[in-house]
Amino acid sequence: MEESVVLILSRKASECIHLGDDIVLTIVAVGNDKVRIGVQAPPGVKILRTELELDVTLPMPKRAERPAPLASVVNQIRRAA
């Protein structure tokens, strides 16, 4: 088994980090003691906070369906009117 390496990066709000070809981490906001990170990944990629992954007694939440694109919702409202 290969030894893992830790890469430490500094990023500002709205800057991104790309992992491979299809995962993007975006720094959404930086506060005094928190960093908000957005994760963009394919549907099959499991994204889980460490504290939830370690607690095996918790049931996995069902993945919410993605909301319809805004243009689709607007068209549905127009058709209904």
Q: What is the pLDDT of residues 28-65, one digit of tens each?
A: 999 999 999 999 999 999 888 887 766 655 565 565 55
Q: How far apart are CA 63 and CA 18, in angstroms?
A: 23
Look at residue 29 in the predicted model and tell me its pLDDT: 93
Q: Where are the domains of the chain?
A: 11-57
Query: What value does the mean pLDDT of the chain take?
Result: 80
Give yes or no for residue 26 having a pLDDT over 90. yes
Spatial CB neighbours of 10, under 8 Å, sequence gap ≥ 6: none
Spatial CB neighbours of 26, under 8 Å, sequence gap ≥ 6: 14, 15, 16, 37, 38, 39, 40
pTM for the full model?
Answer: 0.58
